[in-house]
Amino acid sequence: MAPTTLGKALNMGLRKAMEDDPKVLIMGEDVGKLGGVFRITDGLQKDFGEDRVIDTPLAESGIIGTAIGLALRGYRPVCEIQFDGFVWPGYDQIVAQLAKMHYRSQGRLRLPVVVRIPFGGGIGAVEHHSESPEAYFAHTPGLRVVVCSNPVDSYFMIQQAIATDDPVIFFEPKRRYYEKGELDTSITPEPMFQARTVRPGTDLTLVAYGPMVKVALEAASAAEAEGRSLEVIDLRSLSPLDSDTVVASVRRTGRAVIVHEASTTLGIGAELAARVTEECFYSLESPVLRVGGFDTPYPPAKVEEEWLPDLDRVLDAVDRSFGF
């Protein structure tokens, strides 16, 4: 076991998947010689060759569309979208083609395509480099959508995503790429499409995913100092959305706060709040609250820290929940 960054864990997971299955391909802009702008594919072209690690032309619709063709031919392409805000030229191919092929072929055609998207803010970038578009994909039946939050999950989830026979949109918290954790590659991973309780508690359920898991854990620690026991759940899978784990928790705690960077309106939190309300109505001590990005375009970097949910805003929501 060794301390490994989240980004390095992804790199190791991709390498393992390529070793295990010769049909696995990597494709995207700058993924080859450069190893990707975040170096997630570093060294893979050198070791697996240009046929398996493809520097593509600069065309996202082309990346997804040709990945669909490669998948029809039996390959398992892993596409890198360089930044969240650059996925939109490929959105048509993802939503109108990738998501529906299995359904409209009555299950005859499978598209085991993984689309990796570094997402979220907090890195001081210019526009289109800090967005959280996960709800657009989670809203689309036929796509599976997962988010990793730590090195262990990153290493295993990327392999599980590649092994999945449905298309998977794989979100990576780019602001956490350099955060380290102990990675034991010999363990048996948990199933990917399940939420995980990352900190047990009794008084309130705090739900997060991706970059906000760290913030949620910090909030739980801060709340403990005030005598409040917060249970923190890392959703991990947004589609299918494992609301059962959340519901079970809220039935015990009676309170829920959901945190994400994406704009609040019609985000993952909205769906989860609806499900919790439906299934925990008689257990709830207060309304389900959401802490998200505001309902504005992502702002200039100089004010992004004010825009993004942070420790104070999460604790403020916790206070409001207990104030009901």
Partner 1 sequence: MTTESSGDLATGEPAGASVPLVQLLTPDGERVEHPDYEFDGTDEDIRGFYRDLVLTRRVDAEGVALQRQGELGIWASLLGQEAAQVGSGRAMRPQDYAFPTYREHGVAMCRGVDPVRLLGLFRGADQGSWDAEKHNFHLYTIVIGAQTLHATGYAMGIQRDGAVGDDDGAAVIAYFGDGATSQGDVNEAFIWASVMNAPVVFFCQNNQWAISVPLERQTRIPIYQRAAGFGFPGVRVDGNDVLASYAVTKAALDNARTGNGPTLIEAYTYRMGAHTTTDDPTRYRVAAELDEWKAKDPVSRVRTYLERNDGAADEAFFAAVEVEADELATRIRRETQEMPSPEPTSFFDHVYVEDTPRLTRDREAYAAYLESFDADAAAVGGH
Residues noted as catalytic = 129
Q: Would you count residue 96 as binding partner 1 (CB under 8 A)?
A: no
| Secondary structure, 3-state, the chain | CEEEEHHHHHHHHHHHHHHHCCCEEEEECCCCCCCCCCCCCCCHHHHHCCCCEEECCCCHHHHHHHHHHHHHCCCEEEEECCCHHHCHHHHHHHHHHHCCHHHHCCCCCCCCCEEEEEECCCCCCCCCCCCCCHHHHHCCCCCEEEECCCHHHHHHHHHHHHHCCCCEEEEEEHHHCCCEEEECCCCCCCCCCCCEEEECCCCEEEEECCCHHHHHHHHHHHHHHCCCCEEEEECCEEECECHHHHHHHHHHHCCEEEEEEEECCCCHHHHHHHHHHHHHCCCCCCCCEEEEECCCCCCCHHHHHHHCCCHHHHHHHHHHHHHC
Residues in contact with partner 1, counted by CB under 8 A, come to a total of 40
Q: Would you count residue 127 as binding partner 1 (CB under 8 A)?
A: yes
The stretch among 206-214, 231-239, 247-255, 305-313 that binds partner 1 (CB under 8 A) is: 305-313
The stretch among 86-94, 197-205, 236-244, 269-277 that binds partner 1 (CB under 8 A) is: 86-94
Q: Please give the residues from 33 up to 62 whose contact with partner 1 meets the rule CB under 8 A.
A: 33-35, 37, 55-59, 61-62
Q: Would you count residue 287 as binding partner 1 (CB under 8 A)?
A: no
Q: Would you count residue 313 as binding partner 1 (CB under 8 A)?
A: yes
> Looking at 272, 304, 315, 321, which residue binds partner 1 (CB under 8 A)?
304
Tell me whether residue 127 or residue 244 sits nearer to partner 1 (CB atom). Answer: 127
Tell me whether residue 54 or residue 208 sits nearer to partner 1 (CB atom). Answer: 54
Tell me whether residue 125 or residue 163 sits nearer to partner 1 (CB atom). Answer: 125
Q: Would you count residue 261 as binding partner 1 (CB under 8 A)?
A: no
Q: Would you count residue 299 as binding partner 1 (CB under 8 A)?
A: yes
Least distance in angstroms from the C-beta of 116 to partner 1: 17
- Which residues in this chain contact partner 1 in the complex, by CB under 8 A? 29-30, 32-35, 37, 55-59, 61-62, 85-86, 88-89, 124-129, 265, 294-297, 299-304, 306-307, 312-313, 316
